[in-house]
Each structure stands twice: as C-alpha cells, then as structure tokens.
Amino acid sequence: MTRSIGLLVVGDEILSGKRTDKHMPKLIELLAARGMQLGWAEYVGDEPTRITAALGRAFASGDIVFSTGGIGATPDDHTRQCAAAALGVPLALHPEAEVLIRERMQDTAREQGKVYEPDHPDNVHRLNMGVFPLGAKIIRNPYNKIPGFSVADVHFVPGFPVMAWPMIESVLDERYGHLFARGRSVEKSVIVYGAMEATLTPLMEAVERTHPGIKVFSLPSVDHAEHGRHIELGVKGDAERVDAAYAQLLEGLHSFDARLGPELVR
C-alpha cells in the first residue's frame, strides 16, 4: 500500500503521565496481524487549537488515521468539534447515533430499575455524544453502543481501550481488507559487534539501491543485557525480495572487521 496508517492520541492525561498510552502498541499489534504497519503517531493534549491543526493535517494527508479520545460530552472533550472545524462543516446529531444512544440510555435505566425519561436533562445532554461533523458515518461500539464516527479515512473512537480496540478492528476488517498482506512481509537481521553505524551506512544505502522496496534498518544498543554494545542490522519488506537483499547485506558485512552474532527472522 502507498498510504500510511497514522494514530492520533488525544488527552491531557497522556501528556501529564496520569495515564499511559496503550493504543499505539495495540494498534501496532492489530496491524501486524494483518500484514500492515503503523506509519506515524502524534500525541496532543486537550487544546482545541492544536487538535484542530492535527486533524487538519490528518484529513489532508490521504492516510488512514485513527484518532482516540475526546469524543465524549464533557467540557474537556473537544475532538468532535475540532473535526468539524478542520473540515469546515457544521455539527449535527447523527440519526443512527441518536437511536443507539437512546437504546443505551434505556438499557441503563432498565439495569438500574428506573423509568427511562427521554426528556430528562441528563439524557438530552448524553445525545451530544452523537453530534458529529455533517456527513460522518458511525462506527459501532460493541461495548456500550455509544458510537464513534468516520469521515473519509479518518476514524474517531473513544479513549477507553475496551471500546476503542474492537472498534478499530472492525474498521480495519470492514474497510481495508483489500490492503491486508498477511504473511508477505518479512524481516531478517543479524547482530553485529564492533562496528559503527557511520561505517555501515554505505552498505545499507547500496542494499536499498539494489533492491527497491526493501528497507534496511539499524538498531544500535549500548547496554543490552545479552549482547552488550552492538547493532542489529537487517532488512524488511516483501518476502520474495528479502532473501536476496539480506544475502547482499551479509556479504557486505564480511568486508568489515566486525563479528557477527545471532541471526533473527520475524
């Protein structure tokens, strides 16, 4: 695929350290299971100007983007409003979202042994969770029915992992199955001792020039528990091209005064 997949995580609680972001590692996992890869991630606090700017970039990028957090109806939830501002469209109560939110309110009243009052101020306020940019499509929420929404290829889900993750999975499976590449992407690498990245750079560049579509990577470490100071040097890409690129990489390494350690395949 030519487009990247991006993640936008919204919330002061992440930047302050009150909460640890779990969305990025989970999205990486979900994508890897489908032969896909995260291209970029961005964190932004609950500041409307910054959220609007970040969403403006997301909409303009042409990428597939997942935005987590800030779609509730409390004063610190700004994502819905910022999405509309970035798009230059009004907000409106989505009819499908209204039905689902009312179903949830009825379920909650029944569970609490209360009578559902549709005109109660609290229930009227809860409908704000279904106020989305005009033209949005809903993302169903299997946890509590309160939906997220999509505009083109930018998808908005709650900050709660128990809700967000199945919603992200459903978007991937329902909309992007044609982009899946399960089993076709391979990564091969070797542990290199006693070499400097600057010395290895010409070899890395030569491998990429010879094998278009293959990425060469270098992961240095200075205090690894098992290997100590070393570089993990490798190639990744389509399984049909990786072997030849890796062979060239290994052959080139033999010309350096470096000791090679274990080889890794992922």
β-strands 137-139, 148-151 pairing? antiparallel
Domain end among 179, 197, 222? 179
Q: Are residues 252 and 136 in the same domain?
A: no
Name all contacts of 115-123 with Cβ < 8 Å and 24+ positions apart.
none
The reported pLDDT for the residue numbered 183 is: 59
Q: Are residues 130 and 172 in the same domain?
A: yes
Q: Are residues 72 and 18 in the same domain?
A: yes
Domain count, the chain: 2
Three-state secondary structure call for residue 6? strand
Three-state secondary structure call for residue 65? strand
Q: Are residues 129 and 196 in the same domain?
A: no
Compute the distance between CA of residue 77 and CA of residue 1 in angstroms, rounded to an integer: 33
Q: Are residues 146 and 22 in the same domain?
A: yes
What is the rounded average pLDDT for all residues in the chain? 94
Three-state secondary structure call for residue 38? coil
Both structure tokens of 51: 């959220």
Confidence of residue 31 (pLDDT cuts 50, 70, 90): very high
The reported pLDDT for the residue numbered 233 is: 96
Residue 2 has pLDDT above 70, yes or no: no
* String of DSSP letters for 191-247: EEES--HHHHHHHHHHHHHHSTT-EEEEEEEEEETTTEEEEEEEEEEEHHHHHHHHH
Compute the distance between CA of residue 8 and CA of residue 24 in angstroms, rounded to an integer: 9
Q: Which of 163, 162, 12, 146 lies closest to 73, judged by CA? A: 146
CATH number at residue 55: 3.40.980.10
Q: Which of 43, 48, 3 lies closest to 23, judged by CA? A: 43
Q: Are residues 19 and 137 in the same domain?
A: yes
Average pLDDT over residues 5-21: 97
Compute the distance between CA of residue 48 and CA of residue 81 in angstroms, rounded to an integer: 8
Residue 165 has pLDDT above 80, yes or no: yes
Q: Are residues 108 and 189 in the same domain?
A: no
Q: Are residues 122 and 219 in the same domain?
A: no
Q: What is the pLDDT of residues 114-129, one digit of tens each?
A: 999 999 999 999 999 9
Q: Which domain holds residue 242?
A: 185-265
CATH number at residue 190: 3.30.70.2860
The reported pLDDT for the residue numbered 238 is: 83
Confidence of residue 182 (pLDDT cuts 50, 70, 90): low
Average pLDDT over residues 91-109: 97
Q: What is the pLDDT of residues 39-79, one digit of tens each?
A: 999 999 999 999 999 999 999 999 999 999 999 999 999 99
Question: Are the beta carbons of 9 and 69 closer than 8 angstroms?
Answer: yes
Q: Are residues 80 and 158 in the same domain?
A: yes
Angle at 68 between CA 104 and CA 43, to 5 degrees: 155
Domain end among 179, 202, 236? 179
Compute the distance between CA of residue 84 and CA of residue 94 in angstroms, rounded to an integer: 13
Residue 255 has pLDDT above 90, yes or no: no
Residue 176 has pLDDT above 70, yes or no: yes
Q: Are residues 78 and 137 in the same domain?
A: yes
Q: Are residues 170 and 198 in the same domain?
A: no
Q: Are residues 228 and 246 in the same domain?
A: yes
Domain end among 122, 155, 179? 179
